[in-house]
Amino acid sequence: MKESYNWIMNQLPYTAPFLFVDEIQYVNDKGVEGSYRFSPDADFYKGHFKNNPVTPGVILTECCAQIGLVCLGIYLLGQKTALENLGIGMSSSEMEFLLPVFPGERVTVVSELAYFRFQKLKCEVKMYNKDDKLVCKGVLAGMIGVVNE
């Protein structure tokens, strides 16, 4: 039976149109894998590029960050932690873009934990298309933790 990661999805601080996580395939202390399908109706396709829309690199980076950093961070903080005051911020990104992602494409993000200490999370991320070809890869880091009021 496939494990449900709905509790992680329910903690994500994003909603449409800025939610770039459809499903989490697996997550453990070493990494996460998740997927997202880019809607062909997304507003950013209307101007990027004329007559040949592709997904902007900044959106690909955000998808990698939401799956690779935030979903993993929520998991690492734990199912039992009260996450009502979850604080998240990306501190650095270094991405390399190899293939375009077109409207309607589904991608899979695989993230491997580099470290998580003092609320700083760093991961190596890779994004693959439906043909299992590497779309982009990089290193992302951010701060994640429960903020005291």
Which residues form the catalytic set? 48
* 26: Cβ contacts below 8 Å, ≥ 6 apart: 3, 32, 33
| Closest to 65 in 3D by CA, of 18, 130, 100 | 18
Task: Output Rg (C-alpha) for the chain, integer angstroms.
Answer: 15
Count of CB atoms situated within 10 Å of the CB of 57: 15
Angle, CA of 1, 73 and 93, to the nearest 5°: 125
Burial of 129 (0-12, 13-18, 19+ CB in 10 A): middle
* 63: Cβ contacts below 8 Å, ≥ 6 apart: 20, 21, 36, 107, 109, 127
